[in-house]
Structures are given as structure tokens and as C-alpha cells.
Structure 1
Amino acid sequence: MSLPLEAHAALQAFQAIGSWEQRARVLMQWGERLPALADDEKVDANLVQGCESLVWLVGRLQDGHWQFTASSEARMIRGLVALLLARVNGLSADELQAVDLPDWFNQLGLSRQLSPSRSNGLNAVLQRMRDLTRTQK
């Protein structure tokens, strides 16, 4: 499966980094680049269930391709969600179903730093995306 352009940029950025401290810094920078959600989008209906941190997710289907926006109060989670969005934005519903989350974070060199609760939270975000694609065809 081909990667969206932003996912290629993420891979290049993270594969050039050696230390975990540098990766953490770049991860936070990715999170800071997430566009802010409007207050009317930070509602319970958009809250992802299964995350320890609060994560809001909004998805829109545009010309057969999904665009997601998300927000979290937690800086590390915001960075991880930003990288997930880089991987999935612009995909069709079928392509989104095929995204391998562990493989993506492994390619970025971040899988060892994902605690079980963070992994579960990211899986919950991806599952919510997949659920949205099923309800809005």
C-alpha cells in the first residue's frame, strides 16, 4: 500500500534520528503541528473511548478519501496521534481498514517506547476512525 506524502515525511524525519530523546522532541513537535479543534468539536460524541488521555477525533469524507482531525491534552499522545493522522489522512475506507498500526510505529522507530496503555489508546483511535468510515459511506 502506498503511503500518503505526510507519512513519507514522518518516516524520513524519524529514521534520521538516533536517540530516544531526539525522537521524543520531534514527536512533541509533530503534536504541536496538529491544527486545533474548534470548541464545538470537543464534545462527548467525538471523544475516543478506550484512551487514558482525552482524545477527540473528527472525520470527514472528501471525494472518497478520509481526512481526520484530532486533539489531545497530553503532549505525547498528541504527537502520536499526529503521526497516526499522517499515516491515514487521504486514504479510502478500504485502505484505512488495512493500516497496520504496530508496523507503522515500528517503521518510525517508536514501537518500543509505546506503553501498553498508549498502544491501546492509539488502537482505540484507529478503531474509531474505522467505525466512522463504516457509518459515513
Structure 2
Amino acid sequence: MIFAQDPAKPDPLRAAIQRHYRIDEDAWVSELLDHVDLPDDERRRIEGHARRLVEAVRAGRLGRGGVDAFMVEYELSSEEGVALMCLAEALLRIPDTETADRLIRDKIGSGDWAEHRGHSPSLFVNASTWGLM
């Protein structure tokens, strides 16, 4: 037999993965936490450790320049960050310069780029912001 399991028989693990493929992460984590029975002091210790890890990662990204600093300034929680992401993805599929230029004008023209002026310590990010304005 080529396969460890008959491919015609449903694999429960594969089925579980498929059911949860596009599940809302916040809802799923909340549901999983309902099944965890930890004392309050242990839960607080774990939450504190997780918070410190996230803060350390974020602080480390702020000190970097270049694209990392750019991604921090134009994160996906901002309209401008979403516009830049959409633009980057769409430009890969546009075959001609004229259409690409129109798309760039459309996406860049709708952002409040001045809102980001001077926020970052990165010269690269601030110069890019001026270019987007």
C-alpha cells in the first residue's frame, strides 16, 4: 500500500483541519480558553508573560529601519496600510503601465498620508510619507 491510510476513508484529523481552516481566530481562542482549567494566579502569570513577549517583539520592530519601520507605521489597522497592501497585491497582476498608474493614483489619492508625517524615527519612512503626500 502506498499510503499509510486509505485515502478513500476520511481522516478525522484532516477533517478537523478543514473545518477550522478559515475560522475566526478570536472566537476560536475564546472557545479553547473555556476548556482550560487554570487557577487565576497561573492564568494571570501566563497572560503577563504573553503580553511581555508581544511588547518585546513590537519594541524590537520599532528600533529597526527600512521596510520593518515602514510596516510598523503603515500597519493593516490603518486605511493607508490597507491601501498599500491592496496596491502591492494588485500591481502584480496588472500587465500595462497605464492601468498601473491609474490604480496607483486611485489608491494613493484616497489616503490621509499627512496623518503619518513625522511619526516614525526612520528617515526612510518619513521620506516615503512625503512621497505619498
Q: TM-score, normalised by structure 2?
A: 0.26
TM-score calculated relative to the size of structure 1: 0.25
Quick check: which has more Rg, 1 or 2? 2
Q: Which has the higher strand share?
A: 1
